[in-house]
Amino acid sequence: MTTPHPPASRLPGFALPRIERLKLDNGLRAVLVESGSVPKADVRLVLDIGDAQESLDETWLSRLVAEYLREGSATRDSDAYAQAVAALGGDLAVDSDDDTTTLRGRVLSEHAPAFVRLLAELVRTPRFPPGDLPRLRSDLERRLALAQVQPHMLALERFRAALYGDHPYGRVFPRPGLIGRFTTDAARAFYEAHGGAARATLYVAGRFDERAVGAAVAEAFDGWPAGADSTVRPPQPRHERAVHLVDRAQSEQSTIYMGLPVPAAGHEDWIPLWVANALLGGSFISRILLNLREDKGYSYSPFGFISTRRRDANWMQIADVTTEVTGASLVEIFREIDRLRAEAPPTAELEGIQRYVTGTYLTRFATPAGISEQLASLDLQGLDASYAEATVERANAVTPEEVRSVVERCLRPEEMAIVVVGDASRVAGQIEPFGRVSA
Amino acid sequence: MVAGAQAFRLEIPVHDHRLSNGLRVIVSPDHSAPLVTVAVYYGVGMRVEPPGRTGFAHLFEHLMFQGSGQMGKHEVAYLVEQNGGMLNGSTSLDFTNYFEVLPAPALELALWIEAERMRGPSITQAELDNQRDVVKSEIRLNVLNQPYGGFPWLPMSERAFRNWHNAHNGYGDMADLDAAALPDVERFFVDYYSPSNAVLVVVGDCEPARALELATRAFETIPPRPVPPPADLSEPPREAELRATYHDPRANRPALAISYHTPPRGSRAFDGLALLDHVLLQGDDSRLHQELVRRHAFSSSVDGGINFLGNAFNARTPLLWTSSLVHDPHVAADAILDAFDGVLEEVRVAPLDEATFARALVKARSAYYDTITGFFYPSLGRADLLASFALFDDDPRLINAVPARFDALTPELVHETAREVLAPRNRTVLELEPGLPKNGHRE
């Protein structure tokens, strides 16, 4: 880089926004952050209800619960509830994932307190109308059918199963016929077993009247029972080389998911590994992207990242590659991993990546939605918000040798699972060199 | 005491200038985060492509990361990311944009980068070939290898429009991409990437006078060139409903999409349709959701809106207002269409009741604020609207006029729009059938 561009400037320091925290007697927590310039408030209630609490026979039951949470409260049916939310400028979204169920709406600023009350009404007295069960079950069946033809979902299913086995994190799809056996009573019982104030956190970010929202929280959630203690089983992910080929006849390209379990956020390796991933495959100037995309033209969007759940993480590299170069792409990915395991990166390359990860970390806290996501993510990991500041400091202090050694320690090729979704007749021979292939 | 709506008004600052080479420079300060977003919008998109050149505007966008001005291949990515920023570009119907979000002190650098890009591509045959492969991989990922890939955008546009510019596949046919050559790249740049055909937007933590000074220094030496007249996007009058079927070999459930041609941008009827979108289609309280999802259980959602590639504000017209859903095989498309028609008939027969109308105004205002906020990239939503109102209406200040435009509507005006726009002759109904057609050929 020799062109006469303006000099690199000092990055502004990272500072957390001002965070107001409330905790009610029943254990409900609220996190309020005034931010942004647009007169809206991002309001989300995160419940401790997710795949992690499901038994094998309950796979996707938390999704049925999430669907049921859009069906109104004891005093308002689904139409009346939807209209009440819409009149505040909002639209309720309910999503469940590995660990949590999030109810979210973005309302006009002046209506933030009213929306807090509506959310409280919903989670304290959800309606669970039995008459809607057939429709909600057929919606889930359709979602399942649609997911099962998407190459990325097929890859994720096999990848998760390879790492987590019979732990809930290892089950992406319910087995055939299971959804049809779900009942309203089962959904309600699941909600009641895992819901409750002590396992709920409300995040409000954006522009709003902090005092009025605080008062609405205290009033509307007061008296909601705390609920039972959480009893999730921690995963024991596998560290072993496995090669899986999911046959998808006449695929136009091959979808690669590969990776392995790594230490979770809070571990001493976490931040060095985060920096190392950005250098290896997790940025637009990363080695794997430059190799696969800018040099070879094998793939549009190869991407490396660390996928997280509650105190659990795995490193992943994903790429959709031209069928003919499926094996060649894997060779190049391993070449880059091996190179970083063997040689500390040049200082200049690492410094650029450090500026990338710390500079873009600012943008994560630049919008109301971003702030709530980041704070919720730290809460899920049981980390204090000050960890965000420590993250930036530690990332800036990582040395080239630390990057090499963390990659050597954490990204061991012999412990990686490799999943390829593609046309088996054209791909099988290409991936045999990487291990015994399971179909 | 709860703060009322008056405490939360939004007035976006707009500093609008034109440099001597015709480049429009819009600065909108926002000190809520220590970041700055720099975006250049060129008034050229997929719709200008002539036959034989489908996908070229998008391929060209990729090439603008390969080297331009004094920057080498991919250097733009190094300059932005190594200075703590993120970057991207996109190709839409009527614009192509390039943008970066950086810590505020990097403003001068970001302007330098975009000025170098505006000086023109300097790429080799190898770089063209490389990005041709990358673009093909992108099309495989998002369209060819993906169930429902490109649906309803690509098949609906091809059928609903008669005018090539509106109808053709903007992602590109592989054969057309193969035919793209270096002289085409140079020609396209000369024709469409003149500073006089571009808008530079700076949003974020900056002082307007300083930002303008830096922008002037970086860009004013770039010479302007004549720009070809805009493509004629006009459509012939529509006389009857059109129905079509499309086969998707990777899909496993049928789908249905219904598109209506929009009125002209900026018209009262266009605003009326944008409001009807909130009554009929957006949100769980919308009438199509209530009828098709909750009452008939055809699907878990009905999706859609105005403009497949953006929103009601960031493209010229004609556009389509589309509703689509995936349904189960035992449900006939006609049954869904009957229920759909029942809902639309209500708003065509009589004006909206006051409660529904008032709620739609709140939803429209709130959704517009979300458009301003944008999604992934901080401040890009605001930059996008400022550039769009500059490119398509010659007035970026219109960004502040949208809520008042909605408020100026009445149930009667909206009723008139419903009768005119939501007429069956104005629509195209497209059924997606999973699998190959009976004759076995892929479409």
CATH number of the domain where residue A374 is located: 3.30.830.10
Dihedral (C-alpha) A188, A190, A193, A194: value to the nearest 10 degrees?
-110
Asked if the structure places residue B231 within a domain, the reply is no
CB contact under 8 A, B74 and A290: yes
Amino acid B441: pLDDT = 52
Q: What is the largest CA-CA distance in chain B?
A: 70
- In sequence order, which residues have a C-beta less than 8 Å from that of residue A81 and are 6 or more positions away? A72, A73, A92, A118, A122
Residues of B in contact with A11 (CB under 8 A): 83-84, 103, 105
CB contact under 8 A, A8 and B82: yes
Amino acid B440: pLDDT = 54
B89 with B151, same domain: the answer is: yes
- Reading the block at residue B74, the tokens are 């991919």
B209 with B351, same domain: the answer is: no
Asked if the structure places residue B254 within a domain, the reply is yes
B317 with B429, same domain: the answer is: yes
B106 with B189, same domain: the answer is: yes
- In sequence order, which residues have a C-beta less than 8 Å from that of residue A367 and are 6 or more positions away? A35, A36, B33, B373, B378
Give per-residue burial for B101-129: e unless 16+ CB within 10 Å, then b: bbbbbbbbbbbbbbbbbbbbbebeeebbe
Segment B51-97, tens digit of pLDDT: 999 999 999 999 999 999 899 999 999 999 999 999 999 999 999 99
A166 with A282, same domain: the answer is: no
pLDDT at B443 over 50: no
Asked if the structure places residue A7 within a domain, the reply is no
A197 with A70, same domain: the answer is: yes
A252 with A213, same domain: the answer is: no
A246 with A174, same domain: the answer is: no
Closest C-alpha among B14, B99, B27, B30 to residue B373: B30
Among the partner residues A39, A83, A321, nearest to B10 by beta-carbon distance: A39
Mutate to test the interface with B, among A152, A322, A356, A427 (most CBs of B within 10 A): A356
Q: For residue B102, give the CATH number of its domain.
A: 3.30.830.10
Residues of A in contact with B109 (CB under 8 A): 5-6, 8-9
A32 with A80, same domain: the answer is: yes
Task: Specify the amino acid at residue B33.
Answer: A
Decide if A38 touches B, using CB distance below 8 A. Answer: yes
Task: Report helix angle A424-431 to A326-342, nearest 10.
Answer: 30
On the CB side of B143, how many CA atoms lie within 13 Å of its CA? 17
Asked if the structure places residue A173 within a domain, the reply is yes
Q: Which residues span the domain enclosing B198? A: 15-219
A322 with A251, same domain: the answer is: yes
Q: Tell me the shortest Cα–Cα distance from B297 to chain A, in angstroms.
A: 6
B197 with B329, same domain: the answer is: no
A217 with A258, same domain: the answer is: no
Q: What is the largest CA-CA distance in chain A?
A: 69
Dihedral (C-alpha) A262, A268, A271, A277: value to the nearest 10 degrees?
-30
Task: Specify the amino acid at residue B234.
Answer: S
- In sequence order, which residues have a C-beta less than 8 Å from that of residue A17 and are 6 or more positions away? A33, A34, A35, A365, A371
Decide if A249 touches B, using CB distance below 8 A. Answer: no
A79 with A208, same domain: the answer is: yes
B36 with B120, same domain: the answer is: yes
A23 with A72, same domain: the answer is: yes
Q: Enter the DSSP assignment of A8.
A: P
CB contact under 8 A, A300 and B250: no
Q: How far apart are CA B236 and CA B98, in angstroms?
A: 34
Asked if the structure places residue B1 within a domain, the reply is no
Q: Which residues span the domain enclosing A24? A: 19-221
CB contact under 8 A, A40 and B370: yes
> Based on the structure, what is the number of domains in chain A?
2
Q: How far apart are CA B193 and CA B96, in angstroms?
A: 10
Q: Tell me the shortest Cα–Cα distance from A10 to chain B, in angstroms.
A: 7
> Based on the structure, what is the number of domains in chain B?
2
Residues of A in contact with B336 (CB under 8 A): none
B136 with B81, same domain: the answer is: yes
A73 with A190, same domain: the answer is: yes
Where do the DSSP E strands lie in B176-254? 198-204, 242-248
Q: Is the ipTM of this complex over 0.90?
A: yes
A217 with A251, same domain: the answer is: no
Query: Are the C-beta atoms of B1 and B69 separated by less than 8 Å?
Result: no
Query: Are the C-beta atoms of B303 and A119 separated by less than 8 Å?
Result: no
- Reading the block at residue A143, the tokens are 């979602």
Residues of B in contact with A302 (CB under 8 A): none
CB contact under 8 A, A294 and B83: no
Give per-residue burial for A350-361: e unless 16+ CB within 10 Å, then b: bebbbbbbbbbb
Asked if the structure places residue A1 within a domain, the reply is no
| pLDDT tens-place values along chain A, 439 residues long | 445 788 777 788 899 999 999 999 999 999 999 999 999 999 999 999 999 999 999 999 999 999 999 999 999 999 999 999 999 999 999 999 999 999 999 999 999 999 999 999 999 999 999 999 999 999 999 999 999 999 999 999 999 999 999 999 999 999 999 999 999 999 999 999 999 999 999 999 999 999 999 999 999 999 999 999 988 889 999 999 999 999 999 999 999 999 999 999 999 999 999 999 999 999 999 999 999 999 999 999 999 999 999 999 999 999 999 999 999 999 999 999 999 999 999 999 999 999 999 999 999 999 999 999 999 999 999 999 999 999 999 999 999 999 999 999 999 999 999 999 999 999 999 999 999 999 8
Using the 3D structure, point to which of A221, A254, A277 is the last residue of a domain.
A221
Q: How far apart are CA B127 and CA B408, in angstroms?
A: 52
A346 with A399, same domain: the answer is: yes
Name the more confident of B9 and A153.
A153
B247 with B316, same domain: the answer is: yes
Task: Report helix angle B56-63 to B182-192, nearest 10.
Answer: 90
B120 with B255, same domain: the answer is: no
Judged by DSSP in three states, B198 sits in strand
Asked if the structure places residue A230 within a domain, the reply is no
Q: How close are the terminal C-alpha atoms of chain B, in Å? A: 63
B296 with B207, same domain: the answer is: no
Segment B211-238, tens digit of pLDDT: 999 999 999 999 999 999 999 999 999 9
